[in-house]
Structure 1
Amino acid sequence: MKAYLFPGQGSQFIGMGKDLYKKSHLAKELFRLSDEILGFKMTSIMFEGSMDTLKKTKYTQLAIYIYSVIKTKTSNDFKPDMVAGHSLGEFSALAAINVFSFEDGLKLVNQRASIMQNVCESTHGGMAVVFGLKDSLIEDVCKQDEGIIVPSNYNSPEQLVISGEIQALKRVCLILKKIGAKKILVLPVHGAFHSPIMEPARKKFKKFINKIYFQDSKYPIYQNVTALPVTKSYDIKKNLVKQLTTPVKWKQSIKNMIAHGAISFTEIGPGNILQGLIKKISRNFT
């Protein structure tokens, strides 16, 4: 069975999508439509903007969504048996399999990115990748801290992201180094994504998402919140809202996809960040 995967923030680059724009009339029309819906030249930011602008949450999420979905819409080879998306990538996956339209997905991502950016600017949060420690050990250290700090991305057997208040993040990282973490990488983000700090964003996004029409999916999507296959529109929508404040169970999702018959994984988006994680997960799969 063929599985298709869609990345989240972190895989963006200047010039992304320009090749699609030049080669495909449909791509050109969808890029034009994106600018029209958003009310500003997102294509200019993607094609020849500055990296400082592109890496802002409100632009990054839009750029990756637009690129990923247009790539599927202009491909004759996109024939999935199952899909999954890493964080933001769930929206790309859902538009690709027509749970909602490209246009509605763009509106959802724009709203989500804007809300998250606002929360980031009004709070003091951060994220860090921890390498080489067991999940249970990292979870215990987070629980023992007095601040808000939680596991936020179960990326692979060797890699877990933690997210929370800056001071709590510093304390927990210091402890994890002392007890044997191979490496800790503080991410260049100004927000605590997939943590309780995003609760204001969750509440606002829930109100907005209820205005958008979703239909049941023809293909199972393994959502971040549960790591289980979902097809019903109500459940998909509920999980997208919950995703803002709960961890991305990526490692668990991939293991379940393999257990349910996936033998090939194709990444649809800029870069190949997810491919590296797949190799680590499948190598440790039992």
Structure 2
Amino acid sequence: MIVFTFPGQGSQKPGMGAPWVGHPSWELVGEASAAVGRDIEHLLLEAPADELTETRNAQAATFVLSLVVLDAIERLGVEPAAVAGHSLGEYTALVAAGALAFEEGATLVAERGEAMQAAGRERAGGMAAVLGLDDDAVEVACARVDGDVWVANYNAPGQVVVAGSPEAIDDLAALAKEAGAKKVLPVPVSGAFHTPFMAPARERLRKALAATDVRDPELPTYANVDAAPHTDAREWLGLLGAQLCSPVRWRQTLHRLHDDGFGTYVEVGPGTVLTGLAKRTVSGARVLSVSTPADLDRLLEALAAPPAGAVGAHEGEHLFATERLVVSPAAGLFSPAGGLDPGLRLEPGDVLGTVGDHEVRSPFSGVVMGVLAVDGERVTASQPIAWLRTS
């Protein structure tokens, strides 16, 4: 079974949206900008590192680009059996599971980012990654510090993130090294996330959640707070509020997914942080990531191959992984290009026709197996236009 995982703050980097410009899924960037009243395209294409690192910017940019990538994957017909997200990524996962509309998710993420940034200004704090100690040893070190420091992220075996006051983190670092930690590295964030320091942000977020239409997820969605799947909207209202001041139990989530039968982990969004954590945590898992359009082909090729250790393959596995749909970029009347018939070979960027004033271009190469819209048909955005096969 396939689970999609979505990254959190820290995966962003300048210019990370550039590979997606011109892809049909890029239209989500404009929709997000309109929903939150901010120029998300600027963050994804032009913002320098110091601007993009600000909490409100990092969260908005990572959320939107992750959903651009998700939309591109969905256009290929690949769907997960469950979803999970690391911290901010939990909101992306809930959109992917249908619990939040895209615009509602973008609005909540914008409010969350603003609230966390304000809480960081109200009470100075920081975070640090402790490498080479197990969970219990880090917890003991935190307890020995005469100050405010807590475990914030259980990321993977031997990788735990702590958060608290700068002075307490310094003391924790010394105790952790005495206990055998290989390194204690500062995390470039503006607050002590997932600790009691975020209480003011939690109260602000709870008000925003109360005004949001949160629906039951259509897929099991694994929560940071307890590493368990939840499909009840009422539970998610409480879980999202609690998440800001509770540790992210990502290692435990990966183990629970493994115990529940998931063998393929696909990181959807910028960076490969979660890919590395899954490789360290889940033995024998197939771990993949999609952050650029070039990764789409690699994803399909990987899914077409049987997992390591599998005996044989089910009929149709390879057919499924090599079939792709070209969808409409907008709503309107479809007019096919000349010669758009079964057997036609297409390359990325080739025009299949128009929908109103919009050209329908293929984002990938393949042979036309069938045309799914007729001349003059009124189609909707993302409606399939043609069916291709890559081999």
TM-score after normalising by structure 2: 0.70
Q: Which residue of 2 aligns with 1:37?
A: 35
Q: Which residue of 2 aligns with 1:281?
A: 281
Q: How far off its partner does 1:19 sit? A: 2.8
| Residues 30 and 40, structure 2, Cα contact 8 Å, conserved in 1 | no
Q: Which residue of 1 aligns with 2:68?
A: 70
Q: Which residue of 1 aligns with 2:122?
A: 122
Q: How far off its partner does 1:284 sit? A: 9.7
Letter in 1 for 2:59: Q
Q: Which residue of 2 aligns with 1:259?
A: 259
Letter in 2 for 1:27: W
| Residues 83 and 96, structure 2, Cα contact 8 Å, conserved in 1 | no
Q: How far off its partner does 1:10 sit? A: 1.2
Q: Evaluate the alpha carbon distance shift between residue 22 and residue 284 of structure 1 in structure 2; reply closer, same or farther with a 3 A threshold.
A: closer
Q: Which residue of 2 aligns with 1:27?
A: 26
Q: Which residue of 2 aligns with 1:136?
A: 136
Residues 124-168 of structure 1 show CA distances to partners (whole Å, capped at 9, x for unaligned) of 101110011121111112123232111010000110000111111
Letter in 2 for 1:50: P
Q: Evaluate the alpha carbon distance shift between residue 233 and residue 171 of structure 1 in structure 2; reply closer, same or farther with a 3 A threshold.
A: same
Q: Distance in 2 between matches of 1:124 and 1:110?
A: 21
Q: Which residue of 2 aligns with 1:173?
A: 173
Q: How far off its partner does 1:45 sit? A: 2.0
Alignment of 1:87-166 (within 5 A): 87-166=87-166
| Residues 2 and 265, structure 1, Cα contact 8 Å, conserved in 2 | yes
Letter in 2 for 1:160: V
Q: Which moved more, 1:168-177 or 1:251-260?
A: 168-177
Higher relative contact order (CA 8 A, sep 6+): 1
Q: Distance in 1 between matches of 2:47 and 2:144?
A: 43
Secondary structure of 2:87's partner?
coil
Q: Evaluate the alpha carbon distance shift between residue 93 and residue 225 of structure 1 in structure 2; reply closer, same or farther with a 3 A threshold.
A: same
Q: How far off its partner does 1:226 sit? A: 0.5
Structure 1 segments unaligned to the other structure (5+ residues): none
Q: How far off its partner does 1:60 sit? A: 0.3
| Residues 116 and 198, structure 1, Cα contact 8 Å, conserved in 2 | yes
Q: Distance in 2 between matches of 1:38 and 1:198?
A: 23
Letter in 1 for 2:251: K
Q: Which residue of 2 aligns with 1:46?
A: 44
Q: How far off its partner does 1:73 sit? A: 2.0
| Structure of greater Rg | 2
Residues 33-53 of structure 1 show CA distances to partners (whole Å, capped at 9, x for unaligned) of 222222231211211121111
Letter in 1 for 2:45: F
| Residues 224 and 253, structure 1, Cα contact 8 Å, conserved in 2 | yes
Letter in 2 for 1:4: F
Letter in 2 for 1:197: F
Structure with the higher fraction of residues in helix conformation: 1
Residues 74-94 of structure 1 show CA distances to partners (whole Å, capped at 9, x for unaligned) of 322441111110000000111
Residues 101-141 of structure 1 show CA distances to partners (whole Å, capped at 9, x for unaligned) of 00000000000000000111121101110011121111112
Q: Distance in 1 between matches of 2:242 and 2:146?
A: 24
1:187 equivalent to 2:217? Answer no
Q: Which moved more, 1:71-80 or 1:116-125?
A: 71-80
Q: Which residue of 2 aligns with 1:232?
A: 232
Secondary structure of 2:194's partner?
coil
Residues 215-263 of structure 1 show CA distances to partners (whole Å, capped at 9, x for unaligned) of 1112111110000111101111211110000000000000000000101
Secondary structure of 1:155's partner?
strand
| Residues 195 and 247, structure 1, Cα contact 8 Å, conserved in 2 | yes
User: Considering only aligned residues, what root-mean-square deviation do their CA atoms show, in Å?
Assistant: 1.4
Q: Which residue of 2 aligns with 1:11?
A: 11
TM-score after normalising by structure 1: 0.95
Q: Distance in 2 between matches of 1:107 and 1:39?
A: 9
| Residues 21 and 31, structure 1, Cα contact 8 Å, conserved in 2 | no
Q: Distance in 2 between matches of 1:267 and 1:78?
A: 13
Q: Distance in 1 between matches of 2:159 and 2:232?
A: 31
Q: Distance in 2 between matches of 1:254 and 1:265?
A: 9
Q: How far off its partner does 1:96 sit? A: 1.4
Q: Distance in 1 between matches of 2:177 and 2:145?
A: 15
| Residues 87 and 248, structure 1, Cα contact 8 Å, conserved in 2 | yes
Q: Distance in 1 between matches of 2:88 and 2:241?
A: 12
Structure 2 segments unaligned to the other structure (5+ residues): 286-391
